[in-house]
Amino acid sequence: MRNRALRKVENPGSGIHVLVAAAALERGLLASVDTPTNNPAVHIAPGTTTRFSGNPAH
């Protein structure tokens, strides 16, 4: 058995989003946590045709 928490390197995942949001709020880049980003970038999930964008309507 291998202790994955100590021995395996993984991407930070969603936990990093909290830190990024806190830094953006601290620096005044966002007025509020409720401010929509409306990012025009589209991401297609690997192995699917599902498209995700920063548009809150999606």
* CA distances (Å), origin 16, targets 1, 19, 26, 49: 28, 5, 15, 26
Measured from the Cβ of residue 11, the count of other Cβ atoms closer than 10 Å reads 7
- Give the DSSP letter string of 19-57: HHHHHHHHTTS-S-TT-------EEE-TTS--EEES-TT
Confidence check: pLDDT of 37 > 70: no
Confidence check: pLDDT of 41 > 80: no
Tell me phi and psi for residue 18, to 5 degrees: -65, -45
This model's pTM is above 0.85:
no
Mean pLDDT of 27-48: 77
- Give residue limits of the domains in the chain: 4-53
pLDDT above 90 covers what percent of the chain? 3
